[in-house]
Structure 1
Amino acid sequence: MFIFSCLWLKNINGMRIAILGTHKVGKTTLAEKLHETLPDYEFYSEPYFELQEMGFDFSETPTADDYIIQLEHSLKQIVRSNKNAIFDRCPIDLLAYALAVDDKLNFSSIFNKIQNAIKEIDVFVFVPIEQPDRILCSDSDLPELRSEVNDVIRELIDDFDLEVIEVRGSLSERLNQVQNKIEH
């Protein structure tokens, strides 16, 4: 096992890995577990939490502007990161949230920034909502928004022509899927 881990770590040296997905799918748990296996990597938590720690006050009901602010912060995270980084969210899923709450949103002003930033990401890991759903989503967790964002992320993956690792199953199964895909 130790030899396998060392070989795996050697194989993924110098990568930027972005975990994307809607809320309540296990995205953060996977990102944190991946970081445990790659302790030399920088871990960038969700822009929402970083901005909140810096004193930013988000709306009670999320707005497109809230998500655009997080998207801009996500772009900054990518720019300031080194080649060994794990991102718990990226501009793609934040754009999906903004579009889900405002389908008339004009994001042309930041399109090139998004396009340039995502070119810096080496691996995209998409954690979709599974059927049956693995995580209970109460009404306070905005299940309709969650479902809409999941669909918009799929569309954006196609629109931006991203190659993604789509993971399913338990945490260990998801981690193995990421490891296996990166190895090969």
Structure 2
Amino acid sequence: MKIAITGAHLVGKTTLAEKLHESLRDYIHMPEPYLELEEKGYLFSEMPTVEDFSIQLDHAIENSSIDEPDVIFDRCPLDLLAYVYVIGGSEASKNFYMKVREAMTEIDLFVLVPIETPDLIGCPENEFPDLRKKVNDLLEEWMEDFDVETITVTGTLAERENQVLRRFLELEGE
């Protein structure tokens, strides 16, 4: 099963992906594209740009076609499309939409990690809280547009992990 952890920045996606990987040891953990590209030497702008997110989006689309049956993705193309849309508008994102739609057919389970109320992690001013909120709202809206099993998780890390593992077992049993 291919599981994609999705959400805006600073909601706990990476922590959840790493925790799930501890429980699902046979799974491959695909790190967030930002981290992979940074490790390869890509220098991102201090201020988020459409170009930076477009490069991450291309990378995420490429990663989604990995020829492995069991993968946990820390972030997915839909997240990055939302960032491109919020920063650059519909014109900037329209070139990616069909590629993202196709990439999403590879995903078996979306795990949406939303901003909670109260916000469990918080977003300092230098981490672009308005961008975070807009991306969060857009992802919540867009999730219904894809024919992929989706679960929204909330609560502590343990509660989030348990919610995903319960749904995982239900899907495995079907």
- TM-score with structure 2 setting the length: 0.92
Distance in structure 2 (CA, Å) of the matches to 1:90 and 1:81: 16
Contact 2:107–2:148 (Cα < 8 Å) also in 1: no
Q: Rg bigger for which structure?
A: 1
Unaligned runs of 5+ in 1: 1-14
Partner in structure 1 of residue 33 of structure 2: 47
Secondary structure of the 2:89 match is coil
Length, aligned pairs only: 170
Partner in structure 2 of residue 117 of structure 1: 103
What's the % identity of the aligned pairs? 49
Distance in structure 1 (CA, Å) of the matches to 2:148 and 2:141: 10
Between 42-51 and 75-84, report the one with greater CA deviation.
75-84
Q: Return the match for 1:159 from 138, 141, 145.
A: 145
Q: Return the match for 1:63 from 35, 49, 60.
A: 49
Contact 1:100–1:148 (Cα < 8 Å) also in 2: yes
Partner in structure 1 of residue 166 of structure 2: 180
Q: Return the match for 2:66 from 76, 80, 93.
A: 80
Tell me the amino acid that sits aligned with residue 110 of structure 1.
F
Partner in structure 2 of residue 138 of structure 1: 124
Distance in structure 2 (CA, Å) of the matches to 1:135 and 1:159: 28
Distance in structure 1 (CA, Å) of the matches to 2:117 and 2:142: 21
Secondary structure of the 1:102 match is helix
Contact 2:123–2:129 (Cα < 8 Å) also in 1: yes
Unaligned runs of 5+ in 2: none
Partner in structure 1 of residue 154 of structure 2: 168
Tell me the amino acid that sits aligned with residue 36 of structure 1.
E
**RMSD over aligned Cα, in angstroms?**
1.3
Deviation at 1:164, TM superposition (A): 1.1
Q: Return the match for 1:127 from 103, 113, 126.
A: 113
